[in-house]
Amino acid sequence: MANRLLSVGSAFPEFKKTSVVSLEKGNEFYDITSEDHKNADKWMVMFWWPKDFTFVCPTEIAEFGKHVGDFADRDTILIGASTDSEYVHLAWRKNHDDLRDLQFPMLADTSKSLAEELGILEENEKIAYRVTYIVDPQGIIRWVSVNDLSVGRNVGEVIRVLDALQTDELCPCNWQKGEATLA
């Protein structure tokens, strides 16, 4: 089976999924939809990891957590996701020091329907690859990056690309926010 990755220029699929948003009893879960960021007129960064309770994943999730303010400053909703259940996400957050205080939702795609529609499932285990999407306020995918299961991503690069996309101008190689664009 070949993956058919949903890519740049495509509409991000519609979804409604349960996520973990808090460790506070009674407030742990919240349903997120594909309309939330559009209704708020914000960008969305959704990043996927293969499995909870593994080794590389918490390093990435914690790093995104360190930059949650940077995404908010850019009018961007940050969402982490995997095909694990909301209960597994909650248990992992409770049991991992680097994940307890996360300030972004951990989306649970237990049916794997969203991951399947995005074309990001690994063929044998049917777990998500390390994929990052940047979606504009109209719901159009503007950037996608895919890493193999064993390689973590660079959060700084996600922020750099988000900055470049938000200029709506031509940005040269290695462009950084504050530098001149080509347009």
Task: Give the residue numbers annotated as catalytic, written as ranges.
Answer: 57
> Within 10 Å of residue 165's Cβ, how many Cβ atoms?
16
* DSSP three-state, residue 118: helix
> Within 10 Å of residue 129's Cβ, how many Cβ atoms?
19
Q: Which residues contact 15 (CB under 8 A, 6 or more apart)?
A: 32, 33, 34, 113, 114
Rounded Cα gap, residues 126 and 7, in angstroms: 19
Question: Do 45 and 79 meet the contact criterion of CB atoms below 8 Å apart?
Answer: yes
Rounded Cα gap, residues 65 and 20, in angstroms: 14
How many alpha carbons fall within 13 Å on the CB side of residue 159? 17
